[in-house]
Amino acid sequence: MITIEKTSQSRLQELDLNKLPFGKVFSDHMLVCKFDGTKWEQPVIKPYGTIEVSPGMQVFHYGQAIFEGMKAFRTDDGRVLLFRPERNHLRFNKSAERMCMPSISEEIFVDGLKELIHTDLKWVPSEGGSSLYIRPFMVSSGELISAQPAQEYTFMIISAPALAYYRGIIKVKVEEQYSRSAAGGTGYAKAAGNYAGAFYPTKLAQEEGYTQLIWTDAATHSFVEESGTMNILFRIGDKLVTPPTSERILDGITRDSLITLAKDMGIEVEERRVYISEIMEAAKNGELKEAFGAGTAVTVGQIGEIGFRGERTAIPTPEDGYAMKLKKALQDIQYGRAEDKFGWTVEIK
């Protein structure tokens, strides 16, 4: 049972949903649920607003914080669809386990999410390519400055309308010094600290004119892992090649969906170790036909340039290649324009 306290004053009328900066304006309600040391209490949906916390709250000191990112889509006929929410729930609990936090039930995560979006249904924009970005997260909320896992935790879900996301063609730099994850580390978890640690090397690359990084393995920096906050795929000849997920890589839901769609289209997909030397070689001899990132925010982001050891190599970004075909196929399902033959969408009623 979820308690719902509705706002008496929606902020919706004051806003033009089709002209919002991403991630700054939040919808009317949020879900809050507390873990008291032994069990999750009853979730509450209440008006979005600030929360008062103690400076001794453990997350500020030891960083037990995890999150998810997902979207709700409005179809042409006005329905609202979630995309594979059970995968986000599973991944959230994997992240929780790695960060020594309590797992959360489907009733709280998935049903809470549905109830929250149902409460803020009007916040799901209808303009082409837009969506409601949903951010479930959990932090340690006990009051204790001792380096140990907390007893108390707070799980929350907030959401923010997002316009169609077009970042343009991405320029990536192959990172050979810094790492976002290593064997035995937390790379597969959506832990907040992974992102904080990535900001500095990303900033350095941006100062050189790149959009983001290609992360290579921490031990040898010789094979490709991810690109920024996206999984990465290459078209070499007619094959789609992508690194397998591992303890160092986030198991992206977009990546998994694109692989399924590609196979369904008859495209040969290889999940295997991808050496950066092989990619640069393929780029030079014309075998590398496309490179692209995959993630919830961007869906598919075409890579038009790879920088490796100071040399910048252009990569084709065809309008009718694998990247754009797969993006369209995925979005057609997300926006309810194509048959959902894999059972990925969940309608909010």
Ligand X SMILES: Cc1ncc(COP(=O)(O)O)c(C=O)c1O
* Candidate segments 43-51, 159-167, 222-230, 238-246, binder of ligand X by CB under 6 A: 222-230
| 211: contact with ligand X by CB under 6 A | no
Among 27, 93, 179, 254, binds ligand X (CB under 6 A): 254
* Candidate segments 128-136, 227-235, 268-276, 330-338, binder of ligand X by CB under 6 A: 227-235
| 65: contact with ligand X by CB under 6 A | no
User: How many residues of this chain interact with ligand X, rule: CB under 6 A?
Assistant: 13
Site string for ligand X, 286-315 (x = CB under 6 A): --------xxx-------------------
Contact predicate 295/303, CB 8 Å: no
Site string for ligand X, 114-153 (x = CB under 6 A): ----------------------------------------
Distances (CA, A) of 135 to 55, 89, 160, 308: 23, 12, 8, 34
Q: How far is the CB of 86 from ligand X (least distance, A)?
A: 13
Contact predicate 239/178, CB 8 Å: no
Q: Please tell me the distance from the alpha carbon of residue 64 to that of residue 76, in angstroms, as a whole number.
A: 40
Nearer to ligand X (CB atom), residue 99 or residue 250: 250
Per DSSP, the three-state class of 92 is helix
Q: How far is the CB of 260 from ligand X (least distance, A)?
A: 13
Parallel, antiparallel or unpaired: strands 239-242 and 269-271:
parallel
Angle at 45 between CA 112 and CA 18, to 5 degrees: 85
Q: Please tell me the distance from the alpha carbon of residue 216 to that of residue 236, in angstroms, as a whole number.
A: 19
| Cα-trace Rg, the chain | 21
Eight-class DSSP state of 245: P
| 201: contact with ligand X by CB under 6 A | no
Q: Which residues bind ligand X (CB under 6 A)?
A: 69, 226, 229-231, 250, 252-255, 294-296
